[in-house]
């Protein structure tokens, strides 16, 4: 008995469409990709760097100009990186499952056996079996989603470098998860691993992590890079790290993007000036700032139970 193919949907309109599947092996183009380590080591301004500058010029100087900053590994970054590598490039070579013999008696990453194993696998993402299984379930969930799976199977490069020489004198760079050429459109799917994919939770994640800045910055670079890529849709693919690994897809509306446009362009203006002047002290560095209560605190008492 044949099994019916899942209905396909246009990510821009949400309407069902008929399109041709492209095998994953054809959509992932490792020869055009650049590793995360190589990308972050490059000169130029990325969205992450710009956000650090907007937070505090001193932070930008310390992390990217002083030579003093050493990035510390974080488990949640490892998980997200592993999901990206497997989902986008079908590459699990950078992931190593830790044998039980290399863990402590209570299953922790501790003891001499663990230290020896970690040293022998330096540069790899080291997961316990349960962590590795969670990564693979996340990837499977993404590919089973009717929109996310379509986009990741579509033709187009993954994790490819794009650069733009901004008139301000800054080199802007970006590395989108994927440029998907699908159903006559150019779409950027961006995978986000999270603990809650519901609309209420993800809209907070957008604001807190400034995903709207990311969208604006990426689209700006892509439109002005030598390839001049006009993006029809930028879609966040949110996947829950915990079972049952729900997957939801989101786009950002124009009101969000108005905030992003103003903040990013203002940030680039100020970064260009400070780069020319080699000035990284915030305006408040030589004065005392008086703070006023935020609006939510002013009205907090109105909502007491």
- DSSP secondary structure letters along 6-28: PPEE-TTT--EE------HHHH-
Distance between CA atoms of 209 and 40, rounded to whole angstroms? 18
Total count of domains within the chain: 1
> Does residue 198 sit within a domain?
yes
Residues 287, 239 contacting (CB under 8 angstroms): no
Length reported for the chain: 305
Helix spans in 148-195 (H): 148-153
> Does residue 290 sit within a domain?
no
Q: What are the average pLDDT values for consecutive 10-residue runs of the chain, which has 305 residues? A: 51 49 37 82 95 96 93 76 93 90 86 90 90 95 96 95 97 97 95 97 96 98 96 97 96 96 98 96 83 82 59
Buried b (16+ CB within 10 A) or exposed e, 267-297: bbeebbebbeeeebeeeeeeeeeeeeeeeee
> Does residue 285 sit within a domain?
no
What's the pLDDT at 5?
52
> Does residue 152 sit within a domain?
yes
Beta strand extents in the chain (DSSP E only): 8-9, 16-17, 95-97, 125-127, 162-165, 171-174, 180-182, 185-194, 233-240, 247-250
What's the pLDDT at 75?
62
What's the pLDDT at 108?
85
Angle at 219 between CA 214 and CA 222, to 5 degrees: 125
> Does residue 77 sit within a domain?
yes
Residues 200, 303 contacting (CB under 8 angstroms): no
What's the pLDDT at 104?
85
Sheet holding 233-240, edge to edge: 180-182, 185-194, 233-240, 247-250
What's the pLDDT at 93?
87
DSSP 8-state code for residue 229 = P
Distance between CA atoms of 151 and 148, rounded to whole angstroms? 5
Instruction: Count Cβ atoms within 10 A of the Cβ of residue 44 and give its class: 0-12 exposed, 13-18 middle, 19 or more buried.
Output: middle
| DSSP-derived 3-state class of residue 124 | coil
> Does residue 282 sit within a domain?
no
What's the pLDDT at 70?
86
Buried b (16+ CB within 10 A) or exposed e, 193-212: bbebbeeeebeebbeeebbb
Angle at 219 between CA 213 and CA 220, to 5 degrees: 85
Range of the domain at 58: 21-277
> Does residue 254 sit within a domain?
yes
> Does residue 196 sit within a domain?
yes
What's the pLDDT at 28?
37
Neighbour tally for 259: CB within 10 Å? 15
Which residue do the tokens 């609006």 mark? 295
Largest CA distance in the chain: 76
Encode pLDDT of 136-158 as tens digits: 999 999 999 999 999 999 999 99
190 contacts: CB under 8 Å, gap ≥ 6:
176, 177, 211, 214, 234, 235, 236, 237
Distance between CA atoms of 281 and 276, rounded to whole angstroms? 14
* CATH number of the domain within which 160 lies: 3.90.320.10
């Amino acid at each position: 008995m044949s099994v019916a193919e899942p209905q396909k949907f246009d990510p821009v309109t949400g309407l069902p469409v008929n399109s041709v599947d492209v095998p994953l092996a054809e959509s992932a183009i490792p020869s055009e990709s650049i590793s995360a380590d190589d990308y972050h080591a490059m000169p130029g301004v990325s969205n992450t760097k710009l956000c650090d500058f907007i937070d505090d010029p001193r932070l930008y100087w310390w992390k990217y100009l002083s030579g003093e900053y050493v990035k510390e590994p974080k488990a949640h970054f490892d998980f997200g990186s592993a999901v990206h590598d497997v989902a986008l490039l079908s590459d699990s070579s950078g992931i190593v499952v830790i044998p039980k013999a290399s863990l402590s008696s209570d299953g922790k990453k501790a003891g001499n056996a663990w230290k020896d194993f970690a040293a022998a696998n330096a540069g790899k993402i080291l997961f316990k079996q349960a962590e590795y299984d969670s990564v693979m379930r996340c990837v499977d969930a993404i590919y089973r989603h009717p929109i996310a799976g379509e986009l990741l199977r579509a033709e187009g490069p993954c994790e490819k470098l794009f650069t733009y020489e901004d008139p301000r004198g800054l080199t802007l760079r970006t590395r989108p998860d994927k440029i998907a050429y699908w159903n006559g459109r150019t779409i950027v799917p961006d995978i986000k691993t999270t603990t809650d994919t519901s609309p209420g939770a993800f809209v907070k994640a957008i604001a807190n992590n400034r995903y709207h800045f990311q969208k604006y910055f990426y689209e700006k670079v892509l439109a002005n890079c030598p390839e001049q890529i006009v993006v029809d849709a930028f879609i966040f693919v949110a996947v829950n790290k915990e079972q049952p690994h729900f997957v939801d897809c989101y786009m950002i509306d124009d009101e969000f993007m108005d905030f992003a446009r103003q903040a990013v362009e203002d940030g680039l203006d100020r970064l260009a000036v400070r780069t020319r002047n080699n000035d990284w002290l915030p305006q408040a560095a030589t004065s005392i700032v008086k703070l006023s209560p935020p609006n939510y605190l002013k009205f907090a008492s109105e909502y007491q139970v």
